[in-house]
């Protein structure tokens, strides 16, 4: 049997490294890393009267050990990012000339030197050196917990929750009480760190308090009915309470479960400000859009189509003419989407037509307006349509301005990598890209650089791609590469302004979506990548794409072409979708689509296991990418028949005439 592929701690650490260990001239830490990069100008002001404790590595960028250790440090900083209102992880480069004096002042003689600094220190302090020989991630993380617990009441970091175990007297009165938040109690052995780590993991989340109790406290253990450790008990706001079961009794599983409780949301790390989350109401001020219920275990065709609409009609529109690399990128993108998009006939036909048009044009420069005319189907080719309504479902945000397009773009490219991997070599047949397992990713990379509106995002993505995209050698690796990079971005953005508090950026898929994807080695969370690949192929596979909330394209097309005002967002939303979809699960949706193929013909692609087989059932016929309706075809046949009869008649007529002429002018020799 093939060996299970996990991202071992070592692999995680090496992934976390950017280029430090490979190219010594490049700085070991950069803005994209979760560490705070300090300098002589900032270190003292950060440490003096700080509201958090600090763990700082004084390093030298030329020191070989520092270079080798940098991946561990980055991984540690990422692992404890959610603790940053209690303790922060920083670095200071003593090899930088303007830091020489500072390193001297702090008495740093060897590299790397690790120093702990207590919170609320009113005077200059050189910190406490950690001289332990074991610098493994888990050991350092546990030392950070110990260091926090060494604070007194006076210098305790104000945002850090209590880490001491709670006694029976503190816990019992809470049981059965109504409250405005959840309380989770981790019951664990005396030497376990799980409880304290989960408390710190959740410290930036509102709507929940985490406490710990010890297995040695028999009255607590008995009252809560706990028999194995660590275990977790949950007191709900409505007063009910029970043990909560996670697939594995590990820190990551407990934390993930609690972060995803309804009504539990994250505060922002930078300002500490809380964004009010929103649950099933209008999408923020000025929006009349109704909340659409959705399942997070599904992908929604409405998001994919809205993303395509935005890409083709809004993002591309910022480029007046397309030429050179931009035009080539667009051609490759349209080739890939036309071949791999598992969507409705009307959309696929539009993409195919656009592709044929782009490829057949002998021009080196194309005005965007010409592309727009085709996307808007100005030629009125029947059965070809892409809605110009934004309709976010799985990508809807809790308020306007959050999620939406970037979410749909990630989703689109995950779907495309999975489609390519599932269909292997025939996926991109006749495009010139069929032998390139990186084709989807390279096209995505070029699209992001040339067109994606967020330039900073493009810069970061380009850095990631330049670093590791060349290592992708097959279509499965391409699927995993995009998943890894997306998680890297999630890690960097967690707690920042662009995070929707109702949809916190976590490492995905969470244990509730894929329990077997998660494992732990030496106290560090690791992914079982074989299981992740299987999960990604299922999650982004055609059968898991829901047509819910999609409006029939023929209906929209008819409205658009007849000049009838377009339906507003509410029309496109939940109330009317029962006409098309009555269930929430894959099976009934599919069953219904099969049940009424005539009416459902334009949502047939979504939710079907084999869209490609289904493509044969088309309302019209495609010839050189142009669509003809049945009426067009009937007219052609009648015209053809008429021409045949006419030609035959003409033949007959001329033949008879020539015979008559021959007879009349024939003067036989006598």
Ligand X SMILES: Cc1cc2nc3c(=O)[nH]c(=O)nc-3n(C[C@H](O)[C@H](O)[C@H](O)COP(=O)(O)OP(=O)(O)OC[C@H]3O[C@@H](n4cnc5c(N)ncnc54)[C@H](O)[C@@H]3O)c2cc1C
Any idea which residues carry the catalytic annotation?
63, 66
Contact residue for ligand X among 51, 490, 554, 629 (CB under 6 A): 490
Of 90-98, 480-488, 574-582, 612-620, the segment contacting ligand X by CB under 6 A is 480-488
Beta strands in 456-535 (DSSP E): 518-521, 524-528
Q: Which is nearer to ligand X, 17 or 411 (CB)?
A: 411
Here the tokens at position 521 are: 């080695």
Nearer to ligand X, 244 or 508 (CB): 508
Q: Binding of ligand X at residue 311 (CB under 6 A)?
A: no
Nearest distance from C-beta of residue 410 to ligand X, angstroms: 5
Q: Number of residues in contact with ligand X, rule: CB under 6 A?
A: 24
Give the contacts of 549 (CB within 8 A, at least 6 positions apart).
292, 300, 302, 391, 393, 572, 573, 574, 577, 581
State whether residue 333 is helix, strand or coil. Answer: helix
In 511-614 the beta strands, taken as DSSP E runs, fall at 518-521, 524-528, 545-546
Token pair recorded at residue 520: 């732990």
Beta carbons of 35 and 77 less than 8 angstroms apart: yes
500 part of the interface to ligand X, by CB under 6 A: yes
**Kind plus residue range of the DSSP H or E element containing 627:** strand 626-628
Considering the complex, state which of residue 116 and residue 410 has its C-beta at the smaller distance from ligand X: 410
CA distance 363 to 570: 42
Q: E-assigned strands of 207-275?
A: 208-214, 231-235, 241-243, 265-266
Of 230 and 509, which CB lies nearer to ligand X in the complex structure?
509
CB closer to ligand X out of 69 and 410? 410
Binding mask 357-396 for ligand X (x = CB under 6 A): --------------------------------------x-
Alpha carbon of 428 to those of 240, 384, 431, 611: distances in Å? 55, 22, 6, 15
**Cβ closest to ligand X, residue 498 vs residue 538:** 498
Site for ligand X contains 252 (CB under 6 A): no
Looking at the Cβ atoms of 251 and 485, the one nearer to ligand X is 485
Contact pattern from residue 423 through residue 462 relative to ligand X, giving x for each residue in contact according to CB under 6 A and a dash for the rest = -------------------------x-----x-xx--xx-
The pair of structure tokens assigned to 534 is 């299987």
Phi, psi of 321 (to 5 degrees): -130, 155
Cβ neighbors of 372 (< 8 A, separation 6 or more) are 312, 313, 317
Q: Work out whether strand 36-38 and strand 87-93 pair parallel, antiparallel, or are unpaired.
A: parallel
Min. distance of Cβ 460 from ligand X in angstroms?
4
Q: How far is the CB of 487 from ligand X (least distance, A)?
A: 4
Q: Which of 329, 487, 510, 611 binds ligand X (CB under 6 A)?
A: 487
**Using an 8 Å Cβ cutoff, are 20 and 72 in contact?**
no
Nearest distance, CB of residue 336 and ligand X, angstroms: 16
C-alpha torsion sign, points 102, 84, 86, 201:
negative
Q: Count CB-CB contacts under 10 A for residue 74.
A: 26
Residues 6+ apart with CB under 8 A from 515: 247, 248, 253
The SS3 assignment for 493 reads helix
501 binds ligand X (CB under 6 A): no
**b vs e for 195-229, b when ≥16 Cβ sit within 10 Å of the residue's Cβ?**
bbbbbbbbbbbbbbbbbbbbbebeebbeebebeeb
Looking at residues 401 to 430 of the shown chain, list those that interact with ligand X (rule: CB under 6 A): 403, 406-407, 409-411, 414
Half-sphere exposure of 609 (CA within 13 A, CB side): 3
Which is nearer to ligand X, 372 or 493 (by Cβ)? Answer: 493
Provide the 3-class DSSP secondary structure of residue 68. helix
Q: Pick one of 229, 244, 357, 508: the residue that binds ligand X (CB under 6 A).
A: 508
Q: Is 294 in the site for ligand X (CB under 6 A)?
A: no
Residue 493 contacts ligand X per CB under 6 A: yes
Q: Supply 376's token pair.
A: 């808007």
To the nearest whole angstrom, how small is the minimum distance from the Cβ of residue 311 to ligand X? 11
CB of 250 to ligand X, least distance (A): 20
SS3 assignment, position 49: coil
381 versus 407: smaller Cβ distance to ligand X? 407
**Nearest distance in Å: CB 416, ligand X:** 12
Q: Where are the beta strands (DSSP E) in 344-431?
A: 365-367
By beta-carbon proximity to ligand X, the closer residue of 103 and 448 is 448
CB of 446 to ligand X, least distance (A): 12
Residue with tokens 């080719």: 381
Token pair 């670095």 is found at 91
- Helix intervals (H) in 163-320: 168-171, 194-201, 218-224, 251-259, 301-310
The full length of the chain comes to 670
Member of 483, 527, 549, 580 binding ligand X (CB under 6 A): 483
Which lies closer to ligand X via its Cβ, residue 31 or residue 134?
31
Q: How far apart are CA 38 and CA 27, in angstroms?
A: 13
Strands 365-367 and 321-323: antiparallel
* Nearer Cβ to ligand X (231/408): 408
**What is the nearest approach in angstroms of ligand X to the Cβ of residue 395?**
6
> Under a CB-based contact definition with an 8 Å cutoff, are residues 460 and 466 in contact?
no
230 vs 504 by CB, closer to ligand X: 504
Smallest gap from Cβ 475 to ligand X, in A, equals: 16
In sequence order, the 6+-apart residues with CB closer than 8 A to the CB of 135 are 69, 72, 114
Segment contacting ligand X by CB under 6 A, of 46-54, 80-88, 493-501, 547-555: 493-501
Under the binding rule (CB under 6 A), the answer on residue 514 touching ligand X is no
Based on the number of CB atoms within 10 Å of its own CB, is 465 exposed (0-12), middle (13-18) or buried (19 or more)?
buried
Alpha carbons within 13 A on the beta-carbon side of 133: 0
Q: d(Cα 256, Cα 469) in Å, to the nearest integer? A: 29
Q: Contact positions toward ligand X, by CB under 6 A? A: 395, 403, 406-407, 409-411, 414, 448, 454, 456-457, 460-461, 483, 486-487, 489-490, 493, 498, 500, 503, 508
């Amino acid at each position: 049997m093939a060996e299970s592929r996990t991202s071992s701690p070592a692999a995680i650490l090496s992934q976390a490294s950017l280029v430090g260990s490979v190219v010594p001239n490049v700085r070991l830490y950069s803005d994209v890393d979760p560490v705070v990069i300090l300098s002589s100008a900032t270190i003292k002001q950060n440490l003096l009267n700080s509201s958090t404790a600090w763990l700082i590595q004084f390093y030298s960028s030329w020191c070989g050990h520092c270079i080798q250790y940098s991946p561990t440090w980055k991984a540690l900083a990422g692992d404890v990012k959610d603790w940053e209102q209690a303790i922060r992880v920083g670095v200071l480069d003593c090899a930088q000339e303007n830091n020489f004096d500072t390193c001297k002042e702090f008495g740093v003689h060897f590299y790397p030197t690790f120093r702990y600094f207590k919170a609320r220190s009113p005077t200059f302090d050189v910190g406490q050196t950690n001289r332990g020989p074991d610098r493994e991630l888990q050991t350092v993380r546990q030392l950070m917990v110990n260091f926090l617990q060494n604070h007194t009441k006076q210098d305790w970091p104000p945002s850090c929750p209590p880490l001491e175990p709670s006694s029976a007297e503190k816990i019992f009165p809470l049981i059965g009480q109504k409250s405005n938040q959840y309380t989770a109690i981790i019951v664990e052995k005396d030497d376990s760190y799980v409880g304290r780590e989960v408390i710190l993991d959740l410290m930036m989340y509102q709507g929940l308090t985490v406490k710990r109790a010890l297995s040695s406290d028999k009255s607590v253990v008995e009252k809560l009915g706990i028999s194995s450790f660590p275990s977790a008990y949950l007191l709900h706001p409505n007063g009910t309470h029970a043990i909560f079961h996670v697939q594995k009794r590990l820190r990551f599983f407990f934390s993930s479960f609690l972060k995803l409780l309804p009504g539990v949301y994250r505060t922002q790390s930078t300002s500490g400000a809380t964004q009010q989350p929103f649950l099933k109401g209008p999408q923020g001020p000025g929006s009349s859009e109704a909340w659409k219920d959705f399942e997070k275990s599904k992908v929604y065709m409405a998001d994919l189509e809205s993303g395509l609409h935005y890409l083709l009609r809004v993002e591309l529109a910022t480029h007046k003419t397309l030429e050179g690399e931009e035009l080539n990128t667009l051609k490759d993108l349209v080739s890939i989407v036309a071949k791999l998009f598992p969507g409705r006939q009307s959309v696929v036909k539009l993409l195919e037509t656009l592709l044929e048009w782009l490829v057949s044009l002998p021009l080196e420069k194309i005005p965007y307006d010409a592309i727009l005319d085709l996307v808007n189907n100005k030629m009125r080719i029947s059965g070809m349509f892409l809605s110009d309504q934004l309709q976010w479902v799985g990508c809807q945000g809790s308020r306007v301005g959050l999620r939406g397009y970037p979410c749909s773009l990630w989703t689109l490219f995950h779907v495309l990598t999975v489609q390519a991997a599932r269909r292997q070599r025939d996926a991109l047949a006749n495009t010139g890209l069929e032998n390139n397992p990186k084709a989807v990713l390279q096209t995505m990379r070029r699209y992001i650089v040339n067109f994606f509106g967020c330039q900073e995002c493009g810069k970061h993505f380009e850095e990631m791609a330049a670093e590791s995209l060349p290592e992708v050698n097959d279509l499965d690796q391409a699927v995993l590469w995009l998943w890894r990079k997306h998680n890297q971005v999630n890690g960097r953005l967690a707690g920042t302004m662009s995070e929707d508090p109702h949809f916190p950026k976590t490492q995905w898929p969470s244990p509730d979506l894929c329990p077997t994807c998660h494992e732990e080695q030496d106290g560090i969370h690791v992914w079982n990548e074989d299981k992740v690949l299987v999960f990604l192929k299922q999650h982004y596979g055609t059968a898991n794409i829901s047509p819910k909330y999609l409006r029939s394209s023929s209906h929209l097309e008819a409205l658009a072409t007849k000049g009838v005002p377009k339906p507003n967002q509410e029309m496109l939303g939940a109330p009317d979708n029962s006409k098309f979809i009555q269930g929430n699960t894959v099976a009934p949706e599919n069953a219904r689509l099969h049940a009424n193929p005539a009416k459902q013909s334009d949502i047939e692609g979504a939710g079907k296991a084999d869209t490609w087989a289904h493509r044969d059932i088309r309302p019209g016929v495609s010839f050189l990418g142009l669509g003809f309706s049945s009426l067009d075809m009937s007219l052609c046949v009648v015209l053809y028949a008429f021409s045949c009869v006419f030609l035959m008649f003409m033949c007959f007529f001329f033949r008879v005439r020539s015979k008559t002429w021959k007879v009349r002018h024939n003067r036989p020799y006598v």
